[in-house]
Amino acid sequence: MRKKWIFITLGCVVALSLLVAPIVLAPGAEPSDMRSVIAIDQAEQAKAIEAMRPPKRARPVIAIVALNDATEVSDFLVAYGVLRQADVADVTVVAERAEPVQLYPPSLRIEPETTVRAFDERYPDGADYIVVPAMEPSNNSFVMDWIVAQFRKGAKIISICNGSRTLAAAGLLDGRRATGHWYTIPQLKKAHPSLQQVRDRRYVTDNGITTSTGVSANIPLMVALVEAIGGRETAERVAGELGVKTWDSRHRSGDFQLTLERKKTFVRNTLTFWRHETVGIPVVENVDEVALGVMADAYSRTAMTTVVTLGNHGKAVRSRHGLVIHPDQSVQAAAVDEMLPAPSSDAPAMTMERELARISSRYDPPTAAIVALTMEYPWASGYASTGSR
């Protein structure tokens, strides 16, 4: 019976390999070196910051909207962590229902701080900013209607990564200059022909609507928003605390595409199921939101790893800036193959670099490179691993 099972398994692997062969063999150019990206002209960057200035209050009200069913973990936690640390605005997590919000890809839940109804009662004139992370489904009618209503009240809308899908579905990107995750842009342009894609910029503002490229654009985007609200000196202070060197809109769109080597790695990692493992991330009191979001997201994108978040006896914890987080499992009872170190509050913006190095060492450089690709992160080592320098 054991031999029969082995042959059946091998047969399934071969069959799946044949099915994905067209994907593996599809052509694709290798990316160039991100280090060659030219800095943004100061006048252009000043204009970008000016476009994000507070529309109403001296101390703005920022609502980070979350869909109870599914909200992207890094999009949400990074925005929350950076804005709360900056302390230049009143930041509130808003959801339709006063129930835990499910974050994805890993299993992690957070408590919203208010509901849409309560927020509207408290701020009848609307927020200054609505921050929109990626959500599933992206076309939730309740969320879209509320975002549009807030925009009509004068709020500026800022989307992170695939939050652009929600804005597009709500009709807010029609006729506008915009950007989004490299993989999603063709779909957005097909569904919304009047959308004008701006390449080689990781965030773009057009008439009160700001969009950004993939997941990793979140940190520079939020620091830019901090500068727009609190000034350059405040932004430099926050950037120093986070470990951010630059936060202008420099980007190189052509470096992010599903190349032949990346396709091979995706398929290989998916098929070699015997290498798959479960890793645990400890979620402790005062955990840094930025580091937790980036770490959880990165490991979830290897195509080999199941990520579980672990708390002491499964109890909820409060994050560094007061967010109530419900870990997935109890650390005492969890069965994991590898326990990762707790997310570090030391230069949390450098978490991506640190974890890509660990993923590269634990698995291999191509696996780390596909994590960087899916998070649209300019990882120089990823390009070196393909010999494309």
Backbone angles phi, psi at 251, to 5 degrees: -165, 165
28 in a domain, yes or no? no
101 in a domain, yes or no? yes
Q: Express as a percent the part of the chain with pLDDT over 90.
A: 83
124 in a domain, yes or no? yes
What number is the average pLDDT over the span 53-66?
Answer: 97
Closest CA to 221 of 147, 161, 170: 161
Residue 329: the pLDDT is 87
The domain boundary, picked from 242, 270, 304, lies at 242
Q: How many CB atoms lie within 10 A of CB 89?
A: 21
Query: Is pLDDT of 292 > 50?
Result: yes
Q: 159: helix, coil or strand? A: strand
Residue 27: the pLDDT is 33
What number is the average pLDDT over the span 204-211?
Answer: 98
- Asked if 191 and 275 sit in the same domain, the reply is no
Q: How many CB atoms lie within 10 A of CB 28?
A: 12
- Asked if 221 and 286 sit in the same domain, the reply is no
What number is the average pLDDT over the span 337-363?
Answer: 96
- Asked if 76 and 121 sit in the same domain, the reply is yes
Query: Is pLDDT of 143 > 90?
Result: yes
* Per-residue model confidence as pLDDT tens digits over 316-342: 999 999 999 999 988 888 889 999 999
Q: Count structural domains, the chain.
A: 2
What number is the average pLDDT over the span 292-302?
Answer: 97
Cα–chain-centroid distance for residue 127? Answer: 23
Residue 63: the pLDDT is 98
Query: Count of alpha carbons within 13 Å of 2, Cβ hemisphere only?
Result: 0
Residue 37: the pLDDT is 60
> pTM, whole model, 2 decimals?
0.90
What's the rounded Cα separation, in Å, for the pair 91 and 130? 10
* Per-residue model confidence as pLDDT tens digits over 85-113: 999 999 999 999 999 999 998 779 999 99
Query: Count of alpha carbons within 13 Å of 35, Cβ hemisphere only?
Result: 8
- Asked if 150 and 279 sit in the same domain, the reply is no
Residue 7: the pLDDT is 32
Q: Cα-Cα-Cα-Cα dihedral of 344, 347, 353, 355, to 10°?
A: 0
* Per-residue model confidence as pLDDT tens digits over 119-130: 999 999 999 999
What's the rounded Cα separation, in Å, for the pair 93 and 310? 23
Pair 160, 202: CB distance under 8 Å: no
Give the CATH number of the domain where residue 363 resides: 3.40.50
The structure tokens listed for 366 are 């191509």
The structure tokens listed for 263 are 């396709």
- Asked if 179 and 268 sit in the same domain, the reply is no
Q: Which domain holds residue 352?
A: 256-376
- What value does the mean pLDDT of the chain take? 89
251 in a domain, yes or no? no
Backbone angles phi, psi at 263, to 5 degrees: -60, -45
- Asked if 166 and 261 sit in the same domain, the reply is no
What's the rounded Cα separation, in Å, for the pair 283 and 95? 23
What's the rounded Cα separation, in Å, for the pair 105 and 213? 18
Give the CATH number of the domain where residue 64 resides: 3.40.50.880
4 in a domain, yes or no? no
110 in a domain, yes or no? yes
Query: Is pLDDT of 299 > 90?
Result: yes
Residue 313: the pLDDT is 82
Query: Is pLDDT of 250 > 60?
Result: yes
- Asked if 334 and 358 sit in the same domain, the reply is yes
Stretch among 3-12, 235-244, 359-368 having the lowest mean pLDDT: 3-12
Query: Is pLDDT of 383 > 50?
Result: no
The domain boundary, picked from 242, 266, 286, lies at 242
- Asked if 360 and 262 sit in the same domain, the reply is yes
129 in a domain, yes or no? yes
Burial of 61 (0-12, 13-18, 19+ CB in 10 A): buried
* Per-residue model confidence as pLDDT tens digits over 229-238: 999 999 999 9
- As separate numbers, helices (DSSP H) first and strands (DSSP E) second, the chain gives 14, 18
- Asked if 83 and 211 sit in the same domain, the reply is yes
Residue 382: the pLDDT is 56
Q: Cα-Cα-Cα-Cα dihedral of 131, 256, 347, 323, to 10°?
A: 30
* Whether the bond into 105 is cis, omega within 30 of 0: yes
Backbone angles phi, psi at 152, to 5 degrees: -65, -25
Residue 334: the pLDDT is 81
346 in a domain, yes or no? yes
- Asked if 318 and 222 sit in the same domain, the reply is no
- Asked if 98 and 213 sit in the same domain, the reply is yes
The domain boundary, picked from 242, 276, 306, lies at 242
- Asked if 120 and 179 sit in the same domain, the reply is yes
Query: Is pLDDT of 17 > 80?
Result: no
Query: Is pLDDT of 23 > 70?
Result: no
